[in-house]
Structure formats: C-alpha cells, structure tokens
Amino acid sequence: METRMYASRVEQRLAELVAFDTRNPGGDERALAEHLAAELRALGASHAEVIPASGHFSAYARFGTSPPPLMLNAHLDTVPANAGTTSDPLVLVRRDRRLHGLGCADTKGAIAAILEALAHKQAEGRAPENVAVLFSGDEELGGACMREFLVSERRRGLERAVVCEPTGCHVGVRHRGVHAARVGATAAGGHSSLADRVPNPLLALARAAVALDDLGQRLQDLGPAGLRGLCMNIAALDGGMAFNIIPAAAFLTFSLRPPPGVDLEGILAQSREVVAAATAPLSTQWSMVATNPAFATRDRAGFAPLFGERATADLPFGTEAGQFVEAGIDAVVFGPGRVEQAHKANEYVDLDDLEEAVAVFRRILG
C-alpha cells in the first residue's frame, strides 16, 4: 500500500529533506545547508553557519559554549537517482513501513533522526552540551567539504565523531580504504603492418592489468581476519582507434581496497614495480584519481557510553570516518538504513530503523 501520510514527526522531517535536490553532481547543496543551519539554530544551537568549500556547502552547529569534544556528522548530498526509479525521487513515498526517496538511506534519514532527537531534547528542556553537528556536502563525489573542515579551526577540541552512513543501526568500527589510479603509456604508434616491431602501449597495459591482478591474488591473505585481501579491481583499459592502427597512447584504471593497518605506500610501490616490469621498455605516467583511507576505531570502549551494548560490525563500504581518524579524532559509523538500499532505484529506509536511530541519537545527546 502506498501513502503520503506522515506517521511521525521524523517521517515529516525526512520528507522535507528529500524534497531538496542535492544530487552530486547537479543539485543545490546550498539551499539545504541554509535550511539545516536555520533548523539547528531553532533547536538551540549556540552557533550555526553555512560553510562553503570548493563549490559545495555544509551546515555546521555547536551546542554549548566550549569547544565540543563530540561531533555528529551526516552528509547532505546524494547520488543521482538510479535507472528504474518508479516515482519522483524528490517526493517521499511510504509503502507499508518503507520510506522511499532519494537519500532516505544515504544519509538524509540520519539527518532527520538527528534533528528529531534534538527536538526531543529541546522539548524536555535539556539542550545538549559540548556537541557539534556537521551536515556536510560533497561526500558522494569529491570530499572537498570534509577535507577543508578537518584542517579548519572548527575541528578544535574534537575527540570523537559519529559518522552517519546506512549501517542498519549497527556500530561500524572498521572498513577498507578505497584508492584508484590511472596509468598512461605512450609510444610512436603507426600502421598495424608494423605491429611485430612497434611497441603497442595498449598491449603493454593489458599485460600490466594481468600483473596487477596477479599481485592481488598473491596478497589475498593480507590484513586482519574478516577484511583480508586487496580487492584489486581492473576497472578500465582505454586506447586504440581502429584495427589497422597501432595506438600511440593507452590508459589503465584500477582500484584497490586495502584493509586497516596495511602499509598503503608499500602496496602502491609493489603495484608500480609490477606495472613497470610488464610495460618495459615503455615508461608510464601515474595519477591517483580517488583516495579514501581505511578506517578502524581506536578506542571502542570510549564509545560504549554512547551506544551501550549495541552490536558492532565491519563495513563493506568506505566512509569519511577514516579521515577523522587520520586527523586524530576517533570515530565510529552509525545510521538507519542499509547499504543494500542505497544508490539503487527506489531507495528506501525502514521506518522502524529511522525511529530506532532517533532513540540512539537521544542517548548520544545525553
């Protein structure tokens, strides 16, 4: 059964958030950031502002007067609606206990739950103290907002962060990093009748792709139990114009997902070595096209007062929690919804998950 009646205030909040088009790229993060800054101010924040960063926007607020040691973070941007979506992705639709709309799981549901938890605290006359809230932009594409925030004066005093992503209301304590590289090779090119004597950069990078895959196979036991291996992925091999032309340039794109605790620079050095051996005598040019660090909570016991006995989990996807940890701010990942429901047609979050998240955030806020 499909309905647009709101079962609760948190559902109504989510409907308001979904209606803002914050698709990345192409949406308007600023409008939602301004709306959220005003909401946070109305909910008792001692300071609230919109922060621009490289064409993207975040809403930031502090509760209390001293530099807060704890932050709640959720990103306000979404991916574009996936093919096969059957209703307006910017209109919240409830089908039984499922709330459908772009960003419901990733991560506007978490934003709605945080706002509703703050509203409960305000109604009780117990405004939170020493807590910061960051609803950040550009998580889904470039990560500019988080990078700039973590080197700003606003992060002063932060010791812990709850980074919101769809974990099914489990507490995420580890995930892999994500790193992608593009390797280019060039040669003189020429007529295909000379193929026996003229180096072919496309063929050289094809050999490099196999060598990288072999490296990934050799390192399948690398890392801690539950997160072993590199997940080496050969993503694209580009180049060539026609069957009778030896290409003058070619490009290989690959990614790897090292577990926490693995020496990333050492893995990249090994990758360069196997590529160099496979492409000789041609030289190669490298560029990193994506990088996000692996993550592991440093002090799980320190988060116990916030989450109690709630189950912990290793996550199969990357988040910005690793950036907090690299900046010296310990973190966990938590939120309503599941990753299987995100980035897909008719994205949804279960209303039960959403209401459970409100209860958890009320506990976190004290």
Catalytic residue among 11, 29, 139, 165: 139
Question: Please, what sign has the CA dihedral across residues 45, 111, 178, 264?
Answer: positive
Residues 100, 250: Cα–Cα separation, whole Å? 42
- Sort strands 233-239 and 98-100 into parallel, antiparallel or unpaired: unpaired
Residues 140, 106: Cα–Cα separation, whole Å? 10
Tokens of 120: 């409960």
Comparing C-alpha atoms, which of 275, 295, 293, 277 is closest to residue 285? 275
SS3 216: helix
- Enumerate residues 6+ apart whose C-beta is below 8 A from 206: 237
Q: Is 139 a catalytic residue?
A: yes
List the alpha helices (DSSP H) in the chain.
9-18, 29-42, 109-123, 144-150, 201-218, 264-279, 300-307, 321-326, 351-365
Please write down the HEC assignment for all residues of 228-283: CCCCCEEEEEEECCCCCEECCEEEEEEEECCCCCCCHHHHHHHHHHHHHHHHCCCC
Estimate to the nearest angstrom the gap between the alpha carbon of 131 and the chain centroid.
22
- One-letter amino acid identity for 11? E
With beta carbons less than 8 A apart as the criterion, state whether 172 and 319 touch.
yes
Tokens of 214: 């072999």
The residues that are catalytic are 139
